[in-house]
A and B are shown apart, each in its own frame.
Chain A
Amino acid sequence: MSAVLDPHGHGAADHGHDDHHGAPHGWRRWVYATNHKDIGTLYLLFAFTMFIIGGVLALLIRAELFQPGLQLVNPELFNQFTTMHGLIMVFGAIMPAFVGFANWMIPLQIGASDMAFARMNNFSFWLMIPAALMLAGSFFMPGGAPATGWTIYAPLTLQMGPSMDASILALHLLGASSIMGSINIIVTILNMRAPGMTLMKMPMFVWTWLITAYLLIAVMPVLAGAITMVLTDRHFGTTFFNPAGGGDPVMFQHIFWFFGHPEVYIMILPAFGIISQIVPAFSRKRLFGYASMVYATSSIAILSFIVWAHHMYTTGMPVTGQLFFMYATMLISVPTGVKVFNWIATMWKGSMSFETPMLFAVGFIFVFTMGGFTGLILSMAPIDLQLQDGYYVVAHFHYVLVAGSLFTMFAGYYYWSPKWTGVMYNETRGKIHFWWTLISFNVTFFPMHFLGLAGMPRRYADYPMQFADFNAWASFGAFAFGFAQVYFFFFIVLPTMRGQGEKAAQRPWEAAEGLEWEVPSPAPFHTFENPPKLNADANRIVA
């Protein structure tokens, strides 16, 4: 019987007082779930499933690109793969995974008994299931899945089959789910903190999610507007983006990226939060510059609203437009730099140890910074003219999204899973997973910088032969990377879910701070039913 799936929770036995009416049993526990921990588990499992589906699509893409010539799929299907890989990874894997972390950890970290709106929490999870089915099922609709790229640029969307409408509906559902999730997170954080936990004493993960939730509420409706206009253009005779009726295709890009750029930070800010928890814990030293971390995160969030058109340098903007967006984009590197410096200053003169969470955290800082620098290079409009819509861009955003978001989720999993499951993961296997992932990641994506500089465009099913070797390397690395994640699930996650492994202590990490370590491992079904009394730093329960 698994610890996570165990309705009573092993650790709850000696804390019967926390568990007075227990968990519901059977399927009702999950379908009617209102407990933040159960919903967090659901989110994480859902996200991992989507991650595997998106990953299989990525491997199909890499298999086709292994050699020049079309060996496996036709170009139409190839475009469907790239589109659905992007949509599924962004909306199905990364975003829900961070919401899963938020559900599990925010109430535990702020000393709240649950999320503010427990039933809405349930609804926002279950809304994602039909959406995911529609997205993944679009391959079986007439004409196949959308083949427009995840950016769904008009007017190419007008040429798509019925699956485009299904995807639009799916995005609406996912957007509604995100908005509900965000409202829930904001209300929970602002109203349900334990007495004594002031805003500036909150753990960084809570802070980054608070800011992320505001970003989500601000931009998801913008995406909803854009895709609704696409829908009415397709079926109801409007011509928002159709030049034949006086519409403007570039307008779609402006609206899309007004959503899309904050979206990028939605996918990375919670990651910054997780890293800001892990680095101090394993450096045995407090986070350096807590206040400046909060300000840096907020500045990144605000700046993210005024840089969107750096995705559109090649659409033909006036000089002043290009210059404005270039300067604004370059500015983002300042607060991002502050964060990296703070993490390193936290490590400086610490007493570090390198368990798997710390390995992934350090790996993240190192590799993510490379993605940050390529971002700075891309922000320069003249260089971007060479690189836009090519493999350099592909390399860049995988360095920040895979090595950024995904690595931190792994770090977060290793860090918090003892609390979730009540058992320690296997450290050796964790280390194997880390090195295997880090190396195969770089084998996959590093050569893409060269491909991009040499001019290979993205979303190409076939390419000139001079690009063959680097593509072969990338494909080889991608498969190695994929297998590493299969290993992760079957040899690390599954055993801990089944409760196999060394029993985790309440404080598995020597110097980890925060209220989540004040409850037993695994965390009982109900925690903090009565507001805890906190110490002055708001990271320990007194009395």
Chain B
Amino acid sequence: MMNNIYKKLETASLALAAYGATAAWAVNDLPGGPAVNQLNLHPPVTKIAEQQVWLHWFMLIICTVIFVAVFGVMFYSIFKHRKSLGHKPATFHESVKVEIAWTVVPFIIVILMALPATKAVVASKDTSNADLTIKATGYQWKWGYDYIKGEGEGIGFISSLDEKQRAMSDSGKPEPTDDYLLKVDNPMVVPVGKKIRIITTSNDVIHSFAVNSFGIKQDAIPGFVRDTWFRAEKTGDFRGQCQELCGKEHAYMPIHVKVVSAEEYTAWVADQNKKMAAKQDDPNKVWTLAELTAKGSKVYEANCQSCHQATGQGMGPIKGLDGAAVVLDADSSKQINVLLNGQNNLTMPAWKQLSDTEIAAVISYTKNNWSNKTGQLVQPAEVRAARQ
């Protein structure tokens, strides 16, 4: 009987060990992101984060000392003052002196804790005299970065999660990847050692912009702007994730900030400006259906697919596009209007941040994909007209 139990235990522990061996998921620490089984805060890269790490240790040590002292007393009492040991109960039940002491002493400790914390709060709130100001806009479910003041002014782009990683997540069997759910197409790029002010806002619901290594977390609130700042002291790649529940794809809108040297940054700015110039489509060009649907398919994949699905069937509260009246309608202004302004309280968000060409392309694509065979196409000029 016992033998049998031991055998079972042995099998179970072997299975557990085998699991343990694979459990590390064969991934490595991600510098600037989480480490495998990380136990503490991220290594700080800014002064603010350094203060936070210091404060956390400071608090942890004080709390541990108090905890050990208080529970040392309790456990001593538990082991010594037992009925089973024949301990007779004392009869005291109050002492004004003791009670005043253990009210006043914690009060003093709390004040001592508050002093360094106050210093850190004041420092973290000072967003003045920034070298570079970037607006981070939360969209369901991606980030938009606009460089609004300083070197690189005028650059703007959307940063979204790598589509392959999103698909891996859905498959239920993601391959071991160091930057799983943290890889984006276009990272935010900033120069090292410069004061960067981040202005946050949102296009739909509340999101939160956070990078642990910098010690920043700032909600992005629709209709309002808030700000925070950081001055990275090291180059490298630093990761964060959206921190405020923003709907279905909340887990899939990571933040990637690339900190580079001043020279690299200047080169990056030049490169971006060139790209942006090249991207400007001739607004008056008349597109063919094939050109539009080819481009539209890419736009769909990057922006629409996570909700409306590759099949165009939608899911749950999300409406299907395949066979939908508004898509098939010969009057394409209705669909243009939905894309520009959103609908159903922005369950379908507004997509006005896309270019005229992109909107025209994706509408043409949905009108001519799946079982939708309307042959209709929408030209960028129509979208531009609808915007006005």
Residues of A near any B CB (own CB < 8 A): 68-71, 74-76, 79, 142-144, 147-149, 153, 155-156, 158-159, 161, 234, 243-244, 247-250, 283-292, 314-316, 318-319, 322-323, 326-327, 330-331, 333-334, 337-338, 340-341, 344-354, 362, 365-366, 369-370, 373, 376-377, 380-383, 385-386, 388-390, 450, 453-457, 459-470, 472
- A466/B34 contact (C-beta < 8 A), A377-B59, A389-B244 known: yes
B98-142 interface code vs A (CB 8 A; 1 in, 0 out)? 110011001100100110011011101100000000000000000
For the complex of A and B, the 8 pairs showing the least CB-CB separation, nearest first, are A243-B223, A316-B226, A454-B38, A382-B120, A143-B317, A349-B90, A286-B93, A460-B251
B185 at interface, CB cutoff 8 A: no
List 15 other contacts, CB 8 Å, given A338-B106, A466-B27.
A74-B316, A76-B316, A290-B93, A292-B94, A337-B102, A340-B70, A345-B98, A349-B87, A350-B81, A388-B243, A459-B245, A464-B182, A465-B25, A465-B27, A469-B36
Inter-subunit contact B33/A248 (CB<8 Å)? no
- A350/B52 contact (C-beta < 8 A), A249-B221, A464-B182 known: no
Assembled-state Cα–Cα distance A69/B23 (Å)? 14
Inter-subunit contact A74/B51 (CB<8 Å)? no
Inter-subunit contact B346/A383 (CB<8 Å)? no
- A314/B243 contact (C-beta < 8 A), A76-B316, A289-B99 known: yes
Assembled-state Cα–Cα distance A283/B217 (Å)? 47
Inter-subunit contact B89/A288 (CB<8 Å)? no
Assembled-state Cα–Cα distance A348/B70 (Å)? 12
Inter-subunit contact B125/A319 (CB<8 Å)? yes
- A386/B180 contact (C-beta < 8 A), A243-B223, A319-B122 known: no
Inter-subunit contact B250/A460 (CB<8 Å)? yes
> CB-nearest residue of chain A relative to B100?
A292
- A385/B216 contact (C-beta < 8 A), A143-B316, A377-B60 known: yes
Could you list 26 examples of A-B contacts with CB < 8 Å?
A75-B251, A76-B315, A76-B317, A153-B244, A155-B205, A155-B346, A285-B93, A290-B94, A292-B103, A314-B243, A337-B106, A338-B106, A346-B93, A347-B78, A350-B89, A380-B55, A381-B117, A382-B55, A383-B59, A383-B117, A453-B41, A454-B42, A455-B212, A463-B181, A465-B174, A467-B34
- A70/B169 contact (C-beta < 8 A), A337-B106, A385-B217 known: yes
> CB-nearest residue of chain B relative to A234?
B345
Inter-subunit contact B77/A344 (CB<8 Å)? yes
Inter-subunit contact B33/A466 (CB<8 Å)? yes
Inter-subunit contact B107/A322 (CB<8 Å)? no
Inter-subunit contact A462/B181 (CB<8 Å)? yes
> CB-nearest residue of chain B relative to A247?
B223
Q: Which residues of B contact A79 (CB under 8 A)?
A: 245, 247-248, 250
> CB-nearest residue of chain B relative to A291?
B94
Assembled-state Cα–Cα distance A356/B205 (Å)? 48
Interface size class of B (residues with CB under 8 A): 35 or more
B46-80 interface code vs A (CB 8 A; 1 in, 0 out)? 00110110011001100100110011011001100
> CB-nearest residue of chain A relative to B49?
A386
Assembled-state Cα–Cα distance A380/B112 (Å)? 12
Inter-subunit contact A350/B90 (CB<8 Å)? yes
Q: Report the minimum CB–CB distance from A315 to chain B (whole Å).
A: 5
Assembled-state Cα–Cα distance A349/B222 (Å)? 59
Q: Which residues of A contact B246 (CB under 8 A)?
A: 156
Inter-subunit contact B52/A385 (CB<8 Å)? yes
> CB-nearest residue of chain A relative to B108?
A334
B170 at interface, CB cutoff 8 A: yes
Q: Which residues of B contact A69 (CB under 8 A)?
A: 168-169, 171-174
Q: Report the minimum CB–CB distance from A298 to chain B (whole Å).
A: 14
Residues of B near any A CB (own CB < 8 A): 23-25, 27, 29-30, 33-42, 48-49, 51-52, 55-56, 59-60, 63, 66-67, 70-71, 73-74, 77-78, 81-84, 87-95, 98-99, 102-103, 106-107, 110, 113-114, 117-118, 120-122, 124-125, 168-174, 176-182, 200, 204-206, 208, 210, 212, 215-219, 221-224, 226-228, 240-252, 315-317, 344-347
Task: Return the contact of A285 from the options B41, B60, B91, B222 (Cβ within 8 A).
Answer: B91
Task: Return the contact of B81 from the options A352, A366, A460 (Cβ within 8 A).
Answer: A352
- A455/B42 contact (C-beta < 8 A), A69-B173, A470-B37 known: yes
Q: Which residues of A contact B208 (CB under 8 A)?
A: 314, 389
Assembled-state Cα–Cα distance A71/B222 (Å)? 33
Inter-subunit contact A331/B110 (CB<8 Å)? yes
Inter-subunit contact B33/A464 (CB<8 Å)? yes
Task: Return the contact of B30 from the options A322, A327, A466 (Cβ within 8 A).
Answer: A466
Task: Return the contact of A456 from the options B34, B81, B218 (Cβ within 8 A).
Answer: B34
Inter-subunit contact A344/B55 (CB<8 Å)? no
Inter-subunit contact A351/B82 (CB<8 Å)? yes
Inter-subunit contact A464/B181 (CB<8 Å)? yes
Q: Which residues of B contact A249 (CB under 8 A)?
A: 205-206, 221-224
- A373/B63 contact (C-beta < 8 A), A68-B180, A285-B89, A353-B84 known: yes
Inter-subunit contact B63/A376 (CB<8 Å)? yes
Assembled-state Cα–Cα distance A383/B344 (Å)? 38
Q: Which residues of A contact B178 (CB under 8 A)?
A: 465
Inter-subunit contact B70/A344 (CB<8 Å)? yes
Most B CB contacts (10 A, CB to CB) among A71, A159, A247 go to A159
Q: Report the minimum CB–CB distance from B130 to chain A (whole Å).
A: 16
- A158/B110 contact (C-beta < 8 A), A382-B120, A465-B176 known: no
Assembled-state Cα–Cα distance A69/B25 (Å)? 12
Inter-subunit contact A149/B316 (CB<8 Å)? no
Assembled-state Cα–Cα distance A149/B205 (Å)? 13
Inter-subunit contact A450/B114 (CB<8 Å)? no
Q: Which residues of A contact B83 (CB under 8 A)?
A: 284, 351-353
> CB-nearest residue of chain B relative to A348?
B77
Q: Report the minimum CB–CB distance from B250 to chain A (whole Å).
A: 6
Inter-subunit contact A68/B345 (CB<8 Å)? no
Q: Report the minimum CB–CB distance from B68 to chain A (whole Å).
A: 11
Q: Which residues of A contact B315 (CB under 8 A)?
A: 74, 76
Inter-subunit contact B347/A159 (CB<8 Å)? yes
- A349/B114 contact (C-beta < 8 A), A341-B102, A373-B67, A469-B23 known: no
> CB-nearest residue of chain B relative to A142?
B317
Q: Which residues of A contact B106 (CB under 8 A)?
A: 333-334, 337-338
